[in-house]
Amino acid sequence: MKRVSIHDVAREAGVSITTISKALNNYPDVNPQTKRRIQEVVERLNYVPDAAGRSMGGIPEKVIGLLINDLKPLDPSGAVYGILSGVCHACQDRGIGFMLLTTDFAAQRTVPLKKLCLSKGLTGLVCSGFRLDDSYPAQLRDIDIPCAFIDVETGAPGVIDVTMDNERAAQEAVAFLLKNGRRNVALVNGMRTADVAVRRGRGYRRALENANLPVLPERMLAADFDEGLAHEQARRLLARDKAVDAVFCASDLMALGVCRAAEELGMEIGRDLAVIGFDDIPVARYLYGGLTTVRQDFYLMGYTAGCAVDDRINGRADSLVTGDMMYELVVRGSAPGRL
Amino acid sequence: MKRVSIHDVAREAGVSITTISKALNNYPDVNPQTKRRIQEVVERLNYVPDAAGRSMGGIPEKVIGLLINDLKPLDPSGAVYGILSGVCHACQDRGIGFMLLTTDFAAQRTVPLKKLCLSKGLTGLVCSGFRLDDSYPAQLRDIDIPCAFIDVETGAPGVIDVTMDNERAAQEAVAFLLKNGRRNVALVNGMRTADVAVRRGRGYRRALENANLPVLPERMLAADFDEGLAHEQARRLLARDKAVDAVFCASDLMALGVCRAAEELGMEIGRDLAVIGFDDIPVARYLYGGLTTVRQDFYLMGYTAGCAVDDRINGRADSLVTGDMMYELVVRGSAPGRL
DNA sequence: GTGAAAGCGCTAACAT
DNA sequence: ATGTTAGCGCTTTCAC
């Protein structure tokens, strides 16, 4: 079964392919009658212009690629999904094509970013899920299409960094704990290769320093954004350091692990131990009397990134959304108090 | 900045474009020396073959499209994400292209499925998120590429239905409750337009009938797979019908809502009220002493669908994974007992 | 208002 | 082992 081409339509409609092309691209110099006849034939033959053909002819569709690093089977925090749907909707709203691409640590060394963009024919790019030791962030200067990076402050010239002020958010969260009477606040952080983790760690530290409290290394745990690891680490910490009365976690998932550990040790969440998470995942409000957390809006980040890239594509360079994304401390039962 | 084409490479390497093409496509009849020289020029010029050009020339890349209906900003159950990453990885493993597409109720009536496939140049299709009243499932006979449907038993000839035996799974879950002493089991179901909801409802009914227990309409609630609605409905039910000692929910999210309602009414989950969910979302194991649930593996469903479609593309028609997907009753604290 | 012809970047017969 | 040429489906001058 061969594909029906513009020639088939032309033959059937009794005109030249040129006229078909013009009619389909809404050129003004086509007789309305002819146009209608053509439309009819198009319907009847179920003709659909070939994208490759158009592209070659001179109408390459604009496409924004969302490049996700290390796409995993599970996305417990929903961050990847949120960003994905955000970029996707932005492209829909702007009437521009969307393409999902993936890579990983190894592939980044094999295929240059520029080559990737070129081979996919991208007009714009949004990157997400990259760590500080990945190589694509360093290849940013090579590509010549508008590009946005999510959750990594690349600082690269011309690159749109879509991030929120993680340091300040973390600082506020810890300050909230201190203000509500906690004095021995521990930290459960993600891996050091995650830009956001580094910054949240800094915020934690700064909050303690501002309150003239000691920053104790033994109270700063790394749990790779993993519930299980957080649970394990927290259990050990809480068992040996009875003074700890609050924990700030760099993700809700890790906060869940901490809560689990605390309950196993007979502590009551929100009273004996205040726990703050990060992200505000959909189920956060239902757990442990509600998980106090720093909300961020992944969908909006994706949507913002997509729009910003599209703006750049269209020459509007005004949108520089660096560090501007919203966050909000949502106070619930796991760490009660007032702001 | 013009795109570097095969001609540029040819000129620079001092050979014809044919030789370039052959070298790049690993034809045997190219002098190894020449080939190396070409590789060099390719690197230097940063040449990347144009996808559209190849497509037209005669090497159209195979592409499987994942068509998702009604893509929302949030995916609390992680179902969409799991399927997405599954199909994506399947395509990677099989060395075939992957394309994410979206549609919605309105668009389905505007753009015929066939037209969509044609315009995107798809070689295969995986559909997810469709309801019984959507129109694409009915247009299946129109398309002439291999196609898999997830979570809808279309029954269409040639279509790969990737589903699990929802009816049997639900029946087993309810039977488990009965076996462990529960006698007044309520149902909290999703919307009637979801194929899986219909089947899970049937399983619930059948389990009761098999045990010669009455099937009471007032104990069958519809909560649209929504936590809030489930909470509301359950609260009302539990308040008026004190006999209810167990609830089977068609999703973990709704189960959470039910648990919340029960606790508000002073009931203890797992003792006063047994609650079973469906899906086994990542956080399920951490809630209410662990949520008893029917696990399903969305990632695997996506992966299976992708592979099955690829098999079909390659002429291997053996893979007919209808109703075969795994499920498993995971017993935890919210509905304790033995199988 | 319509059409003939060139050309987009590439592959594939078919020479040579 | 390499080059010539036709053609893929489309858009776009430029004549008519």
Convert the pLDDT of each residue in A64-77 to its tens digit.
999 999 999 999 99
How does pLDDT run across B297-334, given as a tens digit for each residue?
999 999 999 999 999 999 887 666 667 899 999 999 99
3-class SS of residue B164: strand
Q: Which of B3, B4, B42, B48 best tests the A interface by mutation, with the highest count of A CBs <10 A?
A: B48
- From residues 38-57 of B, list those within 7 angstroms of strand C by Cβ: 47-50, 52-54, 56-57
d(C-alpha B318, C-alpha B303), whole Å: 16
Only one residue has tokens 């648990």, namely: B259
pLDDT at A27: 95
Separation between Cα atoms, residue B245 and residue A310, nearest integer Å:
55
Instruction: Tell me the one-letter amino acid at B249.
Output: C
Cα–Cα distance for residue pair B70/B225, rounded to 1 Å: 15
Contacts of A134 (CB under 8 A, 6+ apart): A69, A105, A108
What is the model's pLDDT at position A323? Answer: 74
Nearest nucleotide (C1') to alpha carbon of A8: D9
Chain A residues in contact with B253 by the CB 8 A cut-off are 283
Average pLDDT, integer, range B179-206: 98
Across all strands, nucleotide nearest A35 (CA–C1'): C1
Contact B74 A82 (CB under 8 A): yes
CA A238 from centroid of its chain's CA atoms: 33
Tens digit of each residue's pLDDT (9 = 90 or more) over A142-191? 999 999 999 999 988 889 999 999 999 999 999 999 999 999 999 999 99
* Cβ contact, residue pair B286, A287, below 8 Å: yes
Cβ separation A52–B51 shorter than 8 A = yes
Q: What is the DSSP letter of A29?
A: S
Residue in A131, A65, A120, A102 with CA at minimum distance from that of residue B89: A102
A119·B49 Cβ contact <8 A: yes
Binning chain A into helix, strand and coil, the percentages to the nearest 5 are 45, 15, 40
Cβ-based neighbour number of residue B18 at 10 Å: 12
Å between CA of B35 and C1' of C15? 22
Q: Which residue is nearest to nucleotide D8 (CA to C1')?
A: B56
For residue B290, is pLDDT > 90? yes
The SS3 of residue B294 is strand
- A118 vs B48, B53, B287: nearest CB: B48
Cβ atoms of residues B85 and B302 within 8 Å: yes
Report d(CA A159, CA B131) in Å as an integer: 41
Tell me if A120 sits within 8 A of A65, measured CB to CB: yes
Q: Residue A322 above 80 pLDDT?
A: no
Per-residue pLDDT tens for B36-71?
999 999 999 999 999 999 999 988 899 999 999 999
**Average pLDDT of the residues in B185-207:** 98
For position A45, what pLDDT does the model report? 93
CA distances from B323 to B162, B191, B277 (A): 6, 21, 20
Query: How far apart are alpha carbons B287 and B278 in whole angstroms?
Result: 14
pLDDT in tens, B242-268: 999 999 999 999 999 999 999 999 999
In chain B, which residues have their Cβ closer than 8 Å to the Cβ of A119?
48-49, 51
Look over chain A and give the mean of its residue pLDDT values, rounded to a whole number: 95
Rounded to whole angstroms, the Cα distance separating B270 from B337 reads 9
Which of the nucleotides lies closest to A29 (Cα–C1')? C1
pLDDT digits (tens, 9 = 90+) for A264-281: 999 999 999 999 999 999
Q: What separation in angstroms does the CA of B139 have from each of B132, B135, B308?
A: 12, 7, 20
Percent of chain A's residues with pLDDT above 70: 98
